Structure 1
């Protein structure tokens, strides 16, 4: 197994590839100009990073699967993630990278909003593919970040760099939204599989003993990260994945309340609730009455 290289600072990253550090908290790299580039390495990122790929030259793995990372695509990593990189023999990477330390964001609007960029936690087969026009927009943002890095650090530097990074990330969000739309057929297949898995969950008593169904369980089953899966379901249905699951729980519970002689406590247990009071609260919040009131009204 390859040694895990901890990249906790911008300077550590630059030194690994023989690059100059112009700013302690952010760097823009032209991957083709890196004088040092090993064939195989494994990173534990302590910084945020986004790569804009120009050509197919190797694979990036996060977890057990390869990124869908081809020419004209983007992949992002957040602090704490580990990525494996395997370069094809005789090939060098081609493209741009933007890396920034979490400390750069402290006290900035971006620092308060960074969690909404859910693509940092997309982890398998989920790269963003961009058109040539979209790529030019992103490169323009990167150029502005690079300009501020080369400018002498002053009282405006941090805000301007963070603002341009935020603009870059906002464009990535827009292009990801477009990609969700253009992949609607694939996304629909995921939704169909999600619905089937939900049905199986409530028909399988051994699965229900694991407790209430969780988003991560279904994301794993369709080989997607929880964030990407959740965003996909939201785009397809208008509901979050958790809301979709809860809606299924309510529909199943209605069936059991009306069509079985099980007590409310038994139904709560069968659905995976630890406490019948919790089940009753959830039921009333969604249906407008308690399970017993619903049973009497349907009798």
Structure 2
């Protein structure tokens, strides 16, 4: 089995990169201070934000490599594994903002981390920065670094949390901009999603494997579920789950006009295990039961 280098603490990762720890639960790591090393798979049991400046072996992900532009942010959630083992020796370059989930406990940020869904994106869904955005990111990292260099007092954690939240909120804004500037590409993804939806229900796959999951379509489109969900939501105003349900109801309406099919047969054909679940969803969206809809039609 391929070995994985696991980092459980901020101190371990700082030592790995040849520098002292600034704070036991949060730090800005200068990767250029690390010794040259070979490629490896790594697991982080804390949050990591890589600011990539040049090609860096640490950011090889899975079986693929991604040659990023200058000023790219890659987000890693606790427990995520990145990298690819190899004999190539490289010199890490760039910075890494690392913070432990325990650091967020007792703060408003602890309950809001799900808003920063980009921590669950794949590496090839990274955030590419403009020159002005890069300046704001550098400023945010600088504020965190300056606070870490001060003696710890009663204000330290509050200020670090405030600056961390501001940093992450800027990342949300920049990702929104990236979705907009890639609108043409996103429209292509939406068209493929629609085609996959049609194929899923028309091919009988729903009856064979059950109701479609968002993760299935994301996988078919070679996207992470979170990135796919955010892309669809920003482009259409509806979540992928909303699109799945609306498509399901559209197909259901067509099939209900077939007098040779019972409502239970329609439900099973759409992937429902129990017809009553189909009836409940249909009434929720359409306002009447499938039987009432069929009678009116």
After TM superposition, the score normalised by the length of structure 2 is: 0.95
Give the secondary-structure state (helix, strand or coil) at the position aligned to 1:269: helix
Matches of 1:16 and 1:295 in 2, distance apart?
Answer: 67
Once the 2 structures are TM-superposed, how far is the Cα of residue 125 of structure 1 from its aligned partner?
Answer: 1.7
Pair 1:20 & 2:20 matched: yes
Pair 1:127 & 2:126 matched: yes
Inter-CA distance 103–21: structure 2 relative to 1 (3 Å threshold): same
Matches within 5 A, 1:218-229: 218-229=217-228
Deviations 1:239-292 (A, max 9, x none): 001111111001010111123521111111110111111100100010010001
Matches of 2:173 and 2:67 in 1, distance apart?
Answer: 19
| Aligned residue number for residue 292 of structure 1 | 291
Q: Which runs of 4+ in 1 moved over 6 A?
A: none
Give the secondary-structure state (helix, strand or coil) at the position aligned to 1:52: strand
Once the 2 structures are TM-superposed, how far is the Cα of residue 2 of structure 1 from its aligned partner?
Answer: 4.6
| Aligned residue number for residue 77 of structure 1 | 76
Matches of 2:33 and 2:17 in 1, distance apart?
Answer: 9
Matches within 5 A, 1:80-91: 80-84=79-83, 91=90
Inter-CA distance 68–55: structure 2 relative to 1 (3 Å threshold): closer
Give the secondary-structure state (helix, strand or coil) at the position aligned to 2:97: strand
| Aligned residue number for residue 183 of structure 2 | 184
Inter-CA distance 43–282: structure 2 relative to 1 (3 Å threshold): same
Once the 2 structures are TM-superposed, how far is the Cα of residue 67 of structure 1 from its aligned partner?
Answer: 4.3
Matches of 1:88 and 1:94 in 2, distance apart?
Answer: 18
Give the secondary-structure state (helix, strand or coil) at the position aligned to 1:199: helix
| Aligned residue number for residue 3 of structure 2 | 3
Once the 2 structures are TM-superposed, how far is the Cα of residue 94 of structure 1 from its aligned partner?
Answer: 2.4
Contiguous gaps of at least 5 residues in structure 1: none
- 257-266 vs 12-21, greater mean Cα deviation: 257-266
| Aligned residue number for residue 172 of structure 2 | 173
Once the 2 structures are TM-superposed, how far is the Cα of residue 61 of structure 1 from its aligned partner?
Answer: 3.5
- Aligned partners of 2:63 and 2:84 also within 8 Å: no
Contiguous gaps of at least 5 residues in structure 2: none
| Aligned residue number for residue 149 of structure 1 | 148
- Aligned partners of 1:60 and 1:86 also within 8 Å: no
- Aligned partners of 2:206 and 2:270 also within 8 Å: no
| Aligned residue number for residue 42 of structure 1 | 41
Inter-CA distance 38–228: structure 2 relative to 1 (3 Å threshold): same
Inter-CA distance 68–125: structure 2 relative to 1 (3 Å threshold): farther
| Aligned residue number for residue 101 of structure 1 | 100
Count of residues paired in the alignment = 297
Matches of 2:87 and 2:136 in 1, distance apart?
Answer: 29
Inter-CA distance 84–166: structure 2 relative to 1 (3 Å threshold): same
Once the 2 structures are TM-superposed, how far is the Cα of residue 167 of structure 1 from its aligned partner?
Answer: 0.6
Deviations 1:199-229 (A, max 9, x none): 1100122453211100000000000000000
Deviations 1:152-185 (A, max 9, x none): 1122111111111111111111000000001111
- 61-70 vs 227-236, greater mean Cα deviation: 61-70
